Amino acid sequence: MSALRALGVMIPFLLSAYSVFSIIYVIPQLSSALGVSVSLISLAVTLSFIGGALGGVVIGVVADRWGRRIGLGLSILIFGLATLITSLITNIWELYLLWFLVGFGVNSENGISYAVIVEVWRSNQGLLGGIMQGLYPVGMLLDAATSFLVRSWRPYMAIIGVVSLIGSLSSLLAIPETRFQSLRTSYWEIFSPQYRSITALGTVLVASAFMFTVPFISLVPTYILIRGFSGITYEATLIALSTLMAVSFGLAGYIMDRWGSFKTTITLSTMALASSLLFLVINLMNWGLIIVPIALGYFASSFFAYMGILMGRLYPPQVRATGTNFTFLLGRIMAGVGVALAASISSNLGIGMSFLMLASSIAAIASSVPLLRGR
């Protein structure tokens, strides 16, 4: 029964990643079909993060008020249908609207899934959360495989939408409902004196995790191309890094269950700071061995893996989904602009990435000390 419930949570999470990352493999096709530049198509990715910030809070309230399965089902319908309908678009504005909705649904689904794990499993919550977050690169690999098998973007989007809808909605049957009787609870409680510091510091910590992880892993493929990686070396490096990320995410969750959130977060944030400094020095001095700080950065980014579980533990059940998704709001917005920010800091992409990584890792350490000490 426990394994079935785990699959019930994991499959929609995997298929949400399958949906939201699908666009990255057909950007050139969409650019040609819609008659606009690649940069204008790429803006849809930013809009998905903004939609996710809003959707997480809105659907989080629904999940706290009417139940987790209802919130999950609504989220799945939104991102699954939006992905499917994208196969019918005829202009860029339709793409923007639909990809905003994809982000709206995907991120709310993710936020509620964290709350489900905290409420259904009494042990190994960090491990399950880490494995679940590690499904994101698996979703990207599924997109890559689908794009290889289905060469045209319209059937490609339609297939991903249908698979996501059917697979995710059927999996909901395995998830137990958790509905709370305190229906008069004010969702502004997350700003009450009791939880105000958790909300503020949690927002900073989660935002720092987003800002370290998302721009870094998004820009590494471009960065190593600039540094001369190509052909089989380039492809093998990306596969190895994706595998490292998936494994390290699960391992980080396991370590958090054993060490506690404070010790684990401080350790990984310090590793993130070290990788940032080493990456900066290598880029300033134009040295080789770039794979060393990159691999260390991929491993250190795993403190992002259990953020949803951690935030879910800090709030009471009646506002758990709302509080978790609110702390993710700023991070989701910042992730949407982080890639462009890193690229604009310096003409040297590696230096721009390094400064953003440094600022994020310092913010993670500074916020985790008062928030997690003793936890």
Tell me how crowded residue 158 is: count the other CB atoms within 10 A of its CB: 18
What pLDDT was estimated at residue 185?
A: 55
Q: Where in the chain is the domain with CATH 1.20.1250.20?
A: 2-174, 188-372
| 267 burial level (CB within 10 Å; 0-12, 13-18, 19+) | middle
| 110 burial level (CB within 10 Å; 0-12, 13-18, 19+) | buried
What pLDDT was estimated at residue 338?
A: 82
What pLDDT was estimated at residue 208?
A: 95
What pLDDT was estimated at residue 246?
A: 86
Average pLDDT, 10 consecutive residues per value, the chain (375 residues): 84 96 89 91 88 91 89 97 98 97 95 90 88 88 88 96 97 78 63 91 94 87 86 85 89 93 96 96 90 94 92 88 87 81 85 94 96 85
What pLDDT was estimated at residue 184?
A: 52
What pLDDT was estimated at residue 182?
A: 47
Residues 57/264/299/124 CA torsion (nearest 10 deg): -70
What pLDDT was estimated at residue 95?
A: 97
Domain covering 2-174, topology:
Growth Hormone; Chain: A; (1.20.1250)
CATH 3.30.70.3420 fits 188-372, yes or no: no
Q: Could you tell me the two tokens for 208?
A: 């720092």
**Which DSSP letter does residue 347 get?**
S
